[in-house]
């Protein structure tokens, strides 16, 4: 609970979430949902993986009463992790792009595999797989000594998911900035060529018949 009774930060609310990054809350990642709560755009009961535990933690931060989970966003389920049938995998990399915590590894046209200990069970890889070779299975046995408020997640898994998501967002932002810069460079080059051609056409029109 926020003992100083000051307004909690985005990080305070973000730490009330299990970091599945599953988008069930209607936000692209847990931190965006936390920001939505603080802005008054989202309610405290939109995280099915966090369930009653997250609702209670967030309510304590905001000094308000808890409320039941809004099941229009889903229900709280026992965590399962992704498993790739490597024999059916065609190496399309769509699941790698969809995974918010970078727990799927592989290369183009080569089989992919899931680092199951790091999988949050977000299920975002399932709908993008063109061969339906991804299924959900029980998670591997937890080996961490520090458990979190959520029985299915250790503190190490939560922090790893949070860090991996932030790093992937930064990489995506850098690639997008590079793409925009390259587009701007090409646009300037095209404009420069068009101006040169326009000048040449003008000079051509101004030349006398004898000069032509």
Mean pLDDT of 147-171: 94
* pLDDT 10s digits, 176-197: 777 777 777 777 777 777 787 7
Q: Tell me, what's the pLDDT at 167?
A: 95
Q: Tell me, what's the pLDDT at 81?
A: 97
The whole-angstrom separation of Cα 154 and Cα 148 is 5
First-to-last alpha carbon distance for the chain, in angstroms, is 85
Residues 6+ apart with CB under 8 A from 71: 48
* pLDDT 10s digits, 36-92: 999 999 999 999 999 999 999 999 999 999 999 999 999 999 999 999 998 999 999
The overall average pLDDT reported for the chain is 90
Instruction: Tell me, rounded to whole angstroms, the distance of Cα 93 from its chain centroid.
Output: 16
pLDDT at 144 over 70: no
Q: Which domains does the chain have, with CATH numbers?
A: 10-73 (1.10.15.40), 81-137 (3.30.70.20)
pLDDT at 211 over 80: no
pLDDT band at 145 (very low <50, low <70, confident <90, very high): low
**Is 108 within 8 Å of 93 (Cβ atoms)?**
yes
> pTM of the full predicted structure?
0.80
Structure tokens at 56: 């209670």
Q: Tell me, what's the pLDDT at 185?
A: 73
* pLDDT 10s digits, 109-120: 788 999 999 999
pLDDT at 1 over 60: no
Q: Tell me, what's the pLDDT at 208?
A: 60
The whole-angstrom separation of Cα 120 and Cα 194 is 52
pLDDT at 23 over 60: yes
Percentage of residues in the chain having pLDDT higher than 90: 69
């Amino acid at each position: 609970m926020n003992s100083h009774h000051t307004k909690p930060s985005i990080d305070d609310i973000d730490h009330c979430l299990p970091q599945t990054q599953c988008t069930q809350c209607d936000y692209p990642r847990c931190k965006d949902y936390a920001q939505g709560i603080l802005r008054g755009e989202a309610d405290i009961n939109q995280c099915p993986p966090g369930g009653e535990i997250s609702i209670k933690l967030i309510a304590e931060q905001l000094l308000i009463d808890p409320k039941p989970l809004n099941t229009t966003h889903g229900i709280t389920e026992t965590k399962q992790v992704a498993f790739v049938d490597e024999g059916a995998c065609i190496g399309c990399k769509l699941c790698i792009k969809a995974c918010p915590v970078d727990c799927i590894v592989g290369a183009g046209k080569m089989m992919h595999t899931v680092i199951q200990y790091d999988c949050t069970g977000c299920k975002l890889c399932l709908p993008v797989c063109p061969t339906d070779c991804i299924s959900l299975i029980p998670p591997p046995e937890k080996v961490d000594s520090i458990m979190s408020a959520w029985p299915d997640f250790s503190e190490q898994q939560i922090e790893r998911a949070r860090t991996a998501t932030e790093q992937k967002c930064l990489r995506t932002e850098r690639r997008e900035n590079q793409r925009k810069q390259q587009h701007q460079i090409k646009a300037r080059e095209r404009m420069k060529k068009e101006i040169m051609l326009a000048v040449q056409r003008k000079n051509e029109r101004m030349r006398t018949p004898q000069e032509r």
